[in-house]
Each structure stands twice: as structure tokens, then as C-alpha cells.
Amino acid sequence: MRVSRVVVSSALALATIGLVAAGCGATASSSGSTSTPASVPSSFPKATPSAAIAAGYANSPIPITQSAYAHFKKVKGPYVVGFANSNMGNTWRAQSLKDLQSLVTKYKAKGVVSKLIVANANNSVTTQISQIQDMIAEKVNLILVNAASETALNPVIEKAYKAGIVVVGFNNIVSSPYAENRDINQAKFGASMMQGLAQLLHGKGNIVMVEGIAGAAGSTIRENAAEAVLKKYPNIHIVANVSGGWTETGAKTAMLQVLATHPQTINGIWQQGGMTMGVIQALQQAHRPLVPITTTGMNNAIEFWHSHLKSGYKTVGTTDAPGGSAVALRVGIRILEGQHPLLNAIFTNPPVYNNATMSKYYTAGASPTSWIDPPTLQYIPSATLSQFFSNPKPTL
């Protein structure tokens, strides 16, 4: 097992905003919960926000502090929005961009946004930095960042902030104090699936871990959180840990290499994003038995799971909806309109589903390469998002 890389906020940093974790240990439950929810941030406008909102901050990968935009002055629109995307290498990214463009169209109709600039860095940190520099030079009002690195973009993010540009990181968050982050709780994402897999295996067996893009913040956080769960299960052994690059072809190639060099029984596979069918194809090609493979919201994997329910196939899943891009846009527009985020991150917990509950995520006839993706404005309802701002007054 690799040395854990998860950065857990110190009690001192959290105490500065009244957000003190009640505990970091994993606890087994039928829902797959893996951490004790954090206590309610004292800076929320309501005395008792929902437990789900408080729980979203448990085991945060970054220190939770006051937002850099807590006193940001309203900017007159319409706004020019830049999207600095680290890569477009899979269907999740394509759907994420489509969701973003759809919401931009709605904002344009209301005269709120005038232009969207999209840049793709092809997983190059230096290219992404250069593209953000270009957006600063073009004097955009808002930069949305799906980051190629959690830390390397920090200097250029600070430059954007000092130029009066709002920066919102999402999906792969950034550690800069000059950015607002919007994401699901990626630690819960990774840990809940490992907890569910461990329960399906009754606490023993050999597993393979298939991470996403090595070094990407979201991939690292998910993987470390999953590994932390295994500290409770000494009889579960990681026989291989490989990168599938968040693509089916990458996962298939990596798994075939694992299977060729590991003749021992493999009892389960933890993968963390759109790679389930690649793993299944590798098992089939190597004539190895089907085992529980964690599922993360791509419809071909949901369809496979649903079609094998009667044969006794069991697994566990969660999802990070592509529409997170649109939520990040909503956060950025709110800030430009003079609404003040309370904290430097807006985190919410992802859903967890198993054999008993997966049917609510299954859509017959859905495109195999599409993802579970609630309607743009329903993913995080306006009333829920408003709880993260001191003076909410949303346009959408």
C-alpha cells in the first residue's frame, strides 16, 4: 500500500471558522458512509444547516478558511467566462463541457454572460498556466479551472485574483487561497466505494486498484481515502495498483497487464471513474471470473450492472456528475453579482448506491457513453447553493 497523500485540514485551521471535524475514522454502515460528519461551520447564515451540508466538509483535502471572495465587490455584466480545462480525454469531460455550454446559453439569454472561452491543456501543466495567462490578458471576468495540478497553478491563480478576476476550481480542485473551490467530497467518493467493496468481500481477499490520471488531485484524493479504509481490513490485500487514465481503453490495458502477471485469485476491483467496462473487458479477455467492480456513473457500466442483477452480481457505486462544471459556473456568477461565499470551498457529498438502490440511477436506453447527470439547475438546487453564501440572490 502506498504512503497516504491525503491532506487533512488541521484542527487549528478548521477551528478558525468553527468547522472542527468530529472524527476521521471510517465507520461501516449500510449506506457506505466512511467518516464521521464534520460539525456545522459557525459562519453559515443559518444556525442549523442540513446535516448533509455539514458532512460535505468531513476529511477535507484542503484547509477550510474564509473565502477570498467574502467581500468581493459586484462587477457589472455581461461577463466573459474562461474555462481552463486540463484535458478532454474522455466522455465525462465532453459531457461536462456540454453542460457548461448549455448553462452559458441560459445566462446569455438573460444578458448575464456575453462570451465563453474554452481552452484544453491536454494534461500539460505549463500549457494550462499559459492558457490562464492568456485569459488574464483578455480581461475575462471569471475563470473556471479543472486543474492539471492542485498546486502548480497557484501563482497564476493569484495573478488572476489580483487582476480582479474570479477563479473557481472544480472536479480537480486547487490549493490556492485565491480560488473558490466547488466539488463533491472526493474523499467520500473514494472511501465509500472501498467501504462497500470491503463489505461485499466480508473483509478479506485480493483486490486491484485502478486510479485515474496519476497526479490529478481528484484521483489522488479518492485513492488515498480508499486506502485509508483498508486500515480496518488487514485481510484485504492490494495485489496491484495501476493507472487507467480515466479511460476504458487505458483501464483495459492496465488490467490485462495485471492479470498477465498476477495468476492468484482476484476477489474485487476498485476503480474510480468511467473505467468499469474496460476492466470487465480485460477480465473477459483473460478468461477470469467476474468480480465486484466499483461503478462511478457511466451508463454502460450501470446497464451492465442492471442486466446482471438476476445472476447475482453485486457491487457498489457512486457518481460525480459532469454537471459539476455548471455548478462551478453558477458559483462564479454569484460571486460576480456580489454574493459572498462564506468559505473557500463549497463541498457536497456524492450519492452512494448498491444493488438495492441502483435502479434509481438506471435509465433504460441511455447512451452507453453518457453519464448519470441530473438537469443543470437541479443537481445542486438553488436553495441549497444559497446556504453557502452570506447574501444569496441568484439569477438562476
CA separation (Å) from 321 to 179, 258, 266, 285, 374?
Answer: 21, 29, 29, 30, 7
pLDDT exceeds 50 at position 7: no
pLDDT digits (tens, 9 = 90+) for 82-109: 999 999 989 999 999 999 999 999 999 9
Pairing assessment for the beta strands 352-354 and 316-318 based on DSSP bridges: antiparallel
Instruction: For residue range 254-312, list pLDDT tens digits in order.
Output: 999 999 999 999 999 999 999 999 999 999 999 999 999 999 999 999 999 999 999 99
Tell me the pLDDT tens digit for each residue of 173-213: 999 999 999 999 999 999 999 999 999 999 999 999 999 99
Check: CB of residue 255 under 8 Å from CB of residue 283: yes
pLDDT at 55: 82
Taking a C-beta distance cutoff of 8 angstroms, is the pair 246, 274 a contact?
yes
More confident residue, 49 or 249: 249
Mean pLDDT in the chain?
88
pLDDT higher than 60, residue 48: no
Percentage of the residues of the chain whose pLDDT score is greater than 70: 87
What structural domains does the chain harbor? Answer: 186-318 (3.40.50.2300)
Q: What is the pTM of this model?
A: 0.85
Which pairing describes strands 205-211 and 268-271: parallel, antiparallel, or unpaired?
A: parallel
- Say what the pLDDT of residue 248 is: 96
Please, which pLDDT band fits residue 377 given cuts at 50, 70 and 90?
confident
Strand pairing category for 180-184 and 166-170: parallel
- Whole-angstrom distance, CA of residue 282 vs CA of residue 255: 6
Mean pLDDT value across residues 236-250: 97
- List pLDDT tens digits, range 136-156: 999 999 999 999 999 999 999
Which pLDDT does position 24 carry in this prediction? 28
